[in-house]
Structures are given as structure tokens and as C-alpha cells.
Amino acid sequence: MGQQPITFLRQVVALCCYPQLLESPSFPEDAKQRAQRILQDCGGQSLGSYSASQGVECIRQHVADYITQRDQGVPSDWNNIYLTTGASDGIMSILKLLVSGQDTCRTGVMIPIPQYPLYSAAISELEAVHINYYLDEDNCWALDIEELQRAYLTAKQHCQPRVLCIINPGNPTGQVQSKKCIEEVLHFAYEENMFVMADEVYQDNVYSSDCQFHSFKKVLYEMGPEYFNNVELVSFHSTSKGYTGECGFRGGYMEVLNMDPQVKVQLIKLLSVRLCPPVAGQAAMDVIVNPPKEHEPSYAQFTKEKSSVLDVLAHKARLTERILNSVPGIKCNPVQGAMYAFPRIFIPPRAIQEAQARSMAPDMLYCLKLLEETGICVVPGSGFGQREGTYHFRMTVLPSPEKLKVLLGKLKDFHLCFLEEYSQEEPQLSRSSQHQHRENSKPDA
């Protein structure tokens, strides 16, 4: 999408890969120091050795330092840090560890709806029960504690609810949960003895000036020792989001709090089967948690690149929301964080009938037509889950502002035509003329 990598991160990883570059005058000293520090803790001082299954020791320590700093002094023990192959791997491992039982004893996993499909896929794969709690679209996709309780009580009748997944900032919904909401969730988890999985991979992606990222851990700490020493909580982070977007490196970490020591032994055993996370990804994670300091040579460029990515993302989030909301029949909540807009779309009854006739979700029909007619690819809301009778799609806000404007313009035109087409009486005639009209327009991102 044109987003440039952070120079310092790539320098450190390249230096680790090919340490002969440590002699090169074209790399800054702080990048060399980071690389040397990482290599020092690698077997044979090489990125090619297996690391411990939990990750390279100094990187785990840097992660703990980062968390302490992020949470303004809340202590973090590096023994609770596990480096992972992206966040997905950590999420899968924890779910695998927690899911058990058969029939009505099956483990219930509470997931937000809409959700990131990794969760539903993992839950199916593990034969657990997914318990849907619906985010409140009318309240900017906030998590509603009463809805959480409703879902819990209903599910208790046919499974053992044991795990509560939260994505904050939200994917695909882009909301940033308030501190009060997080407190309520943690109180609920405490009362009902739920294991909390906090997917916080978008912690650096907050755009609304009236929103702030609150880590589940910090809120838990502030609720006092009774909570902080008891609620089982795992938080996930990743190199794939934030201002780095280094998805291909498959870097990530998780911090595991209050896990029973005997269960922890099983977690380590489970992680050991897969040997270790990719060490280059671990190095990338190190840079994110241990960026250049103010007095170091790479600080200025790093800060400039970081702000530039985040500022542009914030701009694109507002731009997307504004243009989408200018279209009749589209309603988009503020994109407070993450990288997505998840607008609600009005689909005329006739289009719904056509979709049903084709055994297709109505928003799938919409998205397929959008793709065919404009080349724009977005994901139907039905892939993430949504309240029955509502329709959405997810789009990223990642393209450059110029492309985004063109794309949203085309989307707007498409939507208006779609509404018109399915409000008319004679679909065959009008669709064929539509098609001719659109043949002249070129596909887009």
C-alpha cells in the first residue's frame, strides 16, 4: 500500500542477518549496538540458531521494560513474556491450551461480534464453542457489559464458558474501548473466573483525539491487588501493525499473567514442539519495544518516520469516515483506531432476494459486484459476523490518501448505482446498461 518500512528496524535486522555489515560505515552506531546486543543472546551469536522456545532472553527483557514504561510503572516480569510467530501463533497456542472437554463440558470462548476471523477459525479447529457477544454499533462499537453477561448466561446452559477474547482497538470495527468499559470487563472476568485474552495488536493505532489506548494490564493493576493477582490475562502484540506493518517477519509477543504454574509448564511444552519463533521476527519485535533513544543518532529519522506513518493513518481514518458518511445508505462509525472502517450498508430488499436465490450472503453479493465492477476488494461483514439483518463491509484505510479518495469516490458511485439498480422494476434492462457504462472505468486497488 506504499507504506515505507522504518529504516532503523530494517537496518537492525539486516545487521543481525549479515554481521559483516557491523564493519560498514554506512550503518548508524545505535543500529549496530542493537544488533550486537541481540546477537550476543543468540546461540553462536547467530540469527540462524534456534532460540529458546520462549524467545531470545534480552528481547523478552526489552519487551518487559517496554510494557512497564507503556503502563507508567506497572511492573512486568520478563519471565511472563513469550515471543511468538506473529500474534496469531500466540492466540492459537493459548486457545489450544485452554480448550478441552466434550459435549456440554466443552470450553466456551467468548468472542466479540464482529470479530477477526482468526478467532472463529481457531475455535472451530479446536472444537470449542464460540459464544458471541455483540458490540454496540449504535454506541461506536463499544463493548456493552450487559450484553456480555447475557451471552455468558445463555451459553452456560450448553457449555463451560472459560475464555473471554477482546480486541482493542477493534478489528474490524476500529473502536477504542474506554477505561470504564475495560474495568467492567475485568470485573466480570474476576467474578466469573474467565481467562482474558486481550488482543492489543493495534495499541499504537489510535487516531481520535478523544480516545486513548488503555492496556488491560494497567487497568487491572489499578483495580487493586485482589484483581491484579488473580485475573488470568494474556495480552498479545505484533510487528505486523502499529507504525511498522512488518507482517512478513512474523514477530510478536504475549505477556501471560496469573497462569497456574502447572498450566504454564504445559504451555512451554506446547511451544517447544514448534521449536522457536523466527529469530529475524524476534529482532524486529526488539526494535519496536526498544526504539532509538533521544540522544542516539537514529532518533530523529525514526521519530519522523514513525509520526509520518501514524499521522497519515489518522488522516486516512478521518477521510474514510467522512467520505463514507457522505453516501446515502452508508453509515460509518468513527475510525478511532486500528486500520479499518466497518461501515453499515443499506441493501435493498430486491438485492437481498437475489443473494438468497444465489445462496449467498447479501453483503457478499454487494462486495462481489463491487469487485467486478470497480476492481475494489473489500470483505463482506458476514465474514466477521454482524447482527442479523444488518450488512457491512470491512475496508482498510491503508491506501495513500490520493488513492483512497479515488477509491472512495468509485465506491460511492457504485453504491448509488447499486441502490438504484435494485430499486427499479426491470433489473435485466437496467443492469445491462449499467454494465456498459462501467466498462470504461479501470479497476483500482
Smallest CA-to-CA distance from 157 within 105, 209, 193 is with 105
Residue 125 touches a second copy, criterion: CB under 8 A = yes
| Rounded least distance, CB 432 to a second copy, Å | 34
Q: Residues 198-225, buried b or exposed e (16+ Cβ, 10 A)?
A: bbbbbbbbbbbeebebbbbbbbbbbbee
| Rounded least distance, CB 14 to a second copy, Å | 4
Residue 26 touches a second copy, criterion: CB under 8 A = yes
Among 278, 343, 380, 383, binds a second copy (CB under 8 A): 278
Residue 122 touches a second copy, criterion: CB under 8 A = yes
| Rounded least distance, CB 241 to a second copy, Å | 12
Strand partners, 166: 198
Residue 270 touches a second copy, criterion: CB under 8 A = yes
- Distance (Å) of CA 409 to CA 47, 307, 380, 405: 47, 27, 19, 6
What does DSSP assign to residue 265? H
Size of the site for a second copy (CB under 8 A): 49
Among 58, 68, 96, 315, binds a second copy (CB under 8 A): 96
Of 8-16, 158-166, 229-237, 334-342, the segment contacting a second copy by CB under 8 A is 8-16
Q: Which strands, in side-by-side order, build the sheet including 393-396?
A: 340-341, 393-396, 379-380
| Rounded least distance, CB 246 to a second copy, Å | 4
| Rounded least distance, CB 25 to a second copy, Å | 11
The DSSP annotation for 273-321 comes to HT----HHHHHHHHHHHSPPPTTSTTHHHHHHHHHHHHHHHHHHHHHHH
Which of residues 86 and 291 has its CB atom nearest to a second copy in the complex? 86
Which of residues 211 and 270 has its CB atom nearest to a second copy in the complex? 270
Site mask, a second copy, residues 31-60, x = CB under 8 A? -----------x-x-xxxxxx---------
Of 86-94, 193-201, 305-313, 425-433, the segment contacting a second copy by CB under 8 A is 86-94
Among 247, 265, 371, 377, binds a second copy (CB under 8 A): 247
Among 53, 54, 84, 88, binds a second copy (CB under 8 A): 88
| Rounded least distance, CB 258 to a second copy, Å | 24
Q: What is the Cα–Cα distance from 220 to 145, expressed in whole angstroms? A: 16
Q: What is the Cα–Cα distance from 157 to 345, expressed in whole angstroms? A: 34
Alpha helices of 99-168 — where are they, by DSSP H? 117-125, 145-155
Alpha helices of 23-74 — where are they, by DSSP H? 29-40, 57-70
Which of residues 185 and 279 has its CB atom nearest to a second copy in the complex? 279
Among 98, 279, 289, 347, binds a second copy (CB under 8 A): 279
Maximum C-alpha span of the chain: 74
Residue 424 touches a second copy, criterion: CB under 8 A = no
Residue 249 touches a second copy, criterion: CB under 8 A = yes
C-alpha cell at 322: 467522512
Of 202-210, 243-251, 353-361, 404-412, the segment contacting a second copy by CB under 8 A is 243-251
Residue 277 touches a second copy, criterion: CB under 8 A = yes
CB atoms closer than 10 angstroms to residue 293: 10
Which of residues 325 and 400 has its CB atom nearest to a second copy in the complex? 400
Residue 274 touches a second copy, criterion: CB under 8 A = yes
Q: What is the Cα–Cα distance from 391 to 371, expressed in whole angstroms? A: 17
Q: What is the Cα–Cα distance from 358 to 366, expressed in whole angstroms? A: 12
Residue 85 touches a second copy, criterion: CB under 8 A = yes
| Rounded least distance, CB 158 to a second copy, Å | 20
Of 21-29, 149-157, 229-237, 297-305, the segment contacting a second copy by CB under 8 A is 21-29
Among 151, 280, 330, 352, binds a second copy (CB under 8 A): 280
Q: What is the Cα–Cα distance from 379 to 434, expressed in whole angstroms? A: 23
Strand pairing class (129-134; 81-85): unpaired
Alpha helices of 326-426 — where are they, by DSSP H? 349-357, 362-374, 401-423
Footprint of a second copy on this chain (CB under 8 A)?
Answer: 1-3, 5, 10-11, 13-14, 17-18, 21, 24, 26, 42, 44, 46-51, 85-86, 88-89, 92, 96, 118, 121-122, 125, 240, 244-250, 270, 273-281
